[in-house]
Structure 1
Amino acid sequence: MKIRTALLSSIALGLTSLSAQAFEIAGTNGTSLEATEIATFNEPWAMVMGESGNALITEKSGQLFQLSKDGTKTEITNVPDVVYGGQGGLGDVIFANDAEDEIYLSYVEQGAESAGAVVIKAKLQTNGDGGLQLANISHIWEQDKQGRQGHYSHKLAIGPDNKLYITSGDRQMQKPAQDMSVNLGKLIRLNLDGSVPDDNPYQNDGELAKTFWTVGHRNMLGIAFASDGKLWTHEMGPRHGDELNLIEKATNYGWPVVSNGDNYSGVPIPDHDTEPKFNAPEASWVPSIAPSGLVIYNGDQFADWNGDAFIGGLASQALIHVDIDGTSASENERFEWGSRVREVEQGNDGEIYVLEDGPEGRLLKLEPNG
């Protein structure tokens, strides 16, 4: 579900002019992109773009906005209170149906003694002031509560199997990723109503494990299905060793037993090739790119890139193009303009949209230059 860029004009958004807000981004292999500023947000974290021309954008501190096809930016009310701090806050948002009147939303919630991510389903409806609000909120999933403020992950995707996939990070605790009694460091797969599919793989490892699709993950901040149905995720490594993984049912990806990075203390971690029983990444990065946001491209504007991945880079301050050929992947090119890239999406007409990280994070539309 993407955004129709022809309907998002800079004039409607109150920008001075298209030419004043457009700039060139040169890739490391010589590809030239034209970037156009569409809007700005305060610590934007995620976005979803609809076939209707409307987009939804979350801000980490707890605000949810609709950016309509005519350029109107509207805050959506009745968003649950979030725990904002560290890496926590309002998280991902996706449409629950083609009508775009229901959404799934993730955020960090306070428990009795500690916090964890949750996923809700809610209806978008008009409020008494003519604006939009969340209504009919239902609880879909809850992450095990822990005291630390990082590695929530809580990225969302609906697969071609009509199931909801949720990334659940290790909460900076490492060992839970291999513990079948907690849902940390796992990829979760649920029915759209939050119930557990009976074809999930871990049926004999306890009730909670029945929700798991894969295990052994660290902090997955990107999840996307390709047009061929393959599921890809990426995750931040410890000290370097970021990963792009092709997801296979009932597979263990090895964290924290193996990694292509090392502990922050400097203590080495064995590489994946030392433990073949764990699924090794299709691509990894040393030094770290700090990946955030992922799309598998399928459009006309960059037809040669169909089937390739685009990853936002935080520490690397780049949009990273990864060439995918079947089940193999390797970095092709980087696009840098001095900004941390938090999120990546594709538009209906084949444009690429990125959200910059930080207090004045811009929504940029990227198109071929020339």
Structure 2
Amino acid sequence: MIRLAALLTILLTFPAQAMETRDGPVTVTRMIAGLEEPWALGFLPGGGVLVTERDGRLLLHHDGKTRAVTGVPEVAARGQGGLLDVLVPRDFAATRTLFFTYAKAQAEGEGTAVARAQLSQDATRLSDWRVIFEMAPGSSGGRHFGSRLVEGADDTLYATIGERGDRPSAQDLTRENGSVIRINRDGSIPADNPFTVTPGARPAIWSWGHRNPQGAALDPEGRLWVVEHGAKGGDEINRIRRGANYGWPVISYGQHYSGERIGEGTHKEGMEQPAFYWDPSIAPSGMMIYSGALWPEWRGHVFVGSLKFGLISHLAGQPLREIERLKSPHTARLRDIREAPDGSIWFLSVGNGAAYRITP
């Protein structure tokens, strides 16, 4: 009865509205309101939803109520930095372990870090917060932290790291700037990482030459994809391959904000081409590759949020192409988009300070 009453309260307070798609209307329901700079969503077994806020708050929404979870240490909430992604791993029910990315204060400036912590049985507090990875010190400024987390099919962790506004560093294997890293769950380095025996290289690096990848997801075959910000034009979706160089800032389909050409053009031998790019930029954020649970026709389709235009970009096909843009008052400055365990699609709107749920 309590859960039914809470559900009725949500439905009465936040009436559902329709949003049109090429495959017919879907229903959008506001589930959580009053959020401040929300960054990521995570789903707990049993129905709870975790939300990170960039200033350092972790929230739990369950049975129609939202409350803070204690135990998050101080984060460097400056510029684009702060408490960023949260990952609920597949074995959470047995281990109570959560993983986070955040901007961590270093000797000078801040760097992207990955931490693990235990969530109490009553889901009110975190304990045993441990940093298992942090990028090499030396970056300053409050931008391009990357910071999306993905659990690989082999239980390793992937984390995206922006080049921190230092463009040349994305082509420097002695730094993790502008890379996708791959680590074990305790922070150790998998033996099959591509640069473990390369002199001077950072062994956590899995791919490099990225600008600011803020979305990442596995497709139904378990392959990793990321979406990253370009400069003026040239936002990219990339299929991530072991040891591959994605070209920033040597090649790009965008240009500098001054209007000058970036690097050497759009192609160079030994550097990967994007699976898709936007020009003009949409300022991409979170990324989801859908399982097909509620919409079988969307299996394997890619959905990317836009911070700039307040929409969801829907992509599909080989080669990948944008097939529609989903837009409504709910999608204002969209930060994250995720598939829930029941197949519904949730997204975070920074513009509205809210989390929404899409259902048929």
Could you tell me the TM-score, scaled by structure 1's length? 0.90
Report the counterpart of residue 357 of structure 2 in structure 1: 365
Which residue of 283, 308, 321 corresponds with 1:330? Answer: 321
Alignment of 1:290-309 (within 5 A): 290-309=283-302
Give the residue type in structure 2 aligned to 1:63: R
Look up the SS of the partner of 1:254 in the other structure. coil
Say what the alpha-carbon RMSD is for the aligned residues. Answer: 2.2
Whether the 8 Å contact between 1:8 and 1:71 is mirrored in structure 2 is no
Once the two structures are superposed, what CA deviation does each residue of 1:115-156 show, in whole Å capped at 9, x if it has no partner? 112111100115xxx661111122111023311110001110
Once the two structures are superposed, what CA deviation does each residue of 1:78-131 show, in whole Å capped at 9, x if it has no partner? 1010111210111000023423411001111112221112111100115xxx66
Report the counterpart of residue 209 of structure 1 in structure 2: 202
Which residue of 128, 132, 140 corresponds with 1:136? Answer: 128
Report the counterpart of residue 110 of structure 1 in structure 2: 105
Whether the 8 Å contact between 2:14 and 2:29 is mirrored in structure 1 is no
Report the counterpart of residue 47 of structure 1 in structure 2: 41
Asked if 1:199 is matched to 2:192, the reply is yes
Whether the 8 Å contact between 1:44 and 1:57 is mirrored in structure 2 is yes
Alignment of 1:332-351 (within 5 A): 332-338=323-329, 339-351=332-344
Asked if 1:170 is matched to 2:184, the reply is no
Q: State how far apart, in whole Å, the 2-side matches of 1:231 and 1:91 are.
A: 20
Give the residue type in structure 2 aligned to 1:337: S
Check 1:207–1:15 CA distance in 2 against 1; reply closer, same or farther (3 A cut): farther
Question: Following TM superposition, by how much is the alpha carbon of 1:13 offset from its aligned partner in structure 2, in angstroms?
Answer: 6.7
Report the counterpart of residue 251 of structure 2 in structure 1: 258
Report the counterpart of residue 180 of structure 1 in structure 2: 173
Q: State how far apart, in whole Å, the 2-side matches of 1:217 and 1:86 are.
A: 20
Report the counterpart of residue 25 of structure 1 in structure 2: 19
Whether the 8 Å contact between 2:10 and 2:31 is mirrored in structure 1 is no
Check 1:20–1:123 CA distance in 2 against 1; reply closer, same or farther (3 A cut): closer
Question: Following TM superposition, by how much is the alpha carbon of 1:274 offset from its aligned partner in structure 2, in angstroms?
Answer: 2.9
Question: Following TM superposition, by how much is the alpha carbon of 1:273 offset from its aligned partner in structure 2, in angstroms?
Answer: 4.5
Once the two structures are superposed, what CA deviation does each residue of 1:17-60 show, in whole Å capped at 9, x if it has no partner? 44852112224x47422110101211100011134212111001
Which residue of 76, 80, 85 corresponds with 2:78? Answer: 85
Whether the 8 Å contact between 2:18 and 2:26 is mirrored in structure 1 is yes
Which residue of 36, 47, 50 corresponds with 1:56? Answer: 50
Q: State how far apart, in whole Å, the 1-side matches of 2:84 and 2:4 are.
A: 27
Q: State how far apart, in whole Å, the 2-side matches of 1:173 and 1:318 are.
A: 29
Q: State how far apart, in whole Å, the 1-side matches of 2:128 and 2:99 are.
A: 12
Q: State how far apart, in whole Å, the 1-side matches of 2:229 and 2:87 are.
A: 22
Check 1:277–1:52 CA distance in 2 against 1; reply closer, same or farther (3 A cut): same
Aligned length: 354
The higher-RCO structure (CA 8 Å, 6+ apart) is 1
Give the residue type in structure 1 aligned to 2:131: H
Question: Following TM superposition, by how much is the alpha carbon of 1:9 offset from its aligned partner in structure 2, in angstroms?
Answer: 7.5
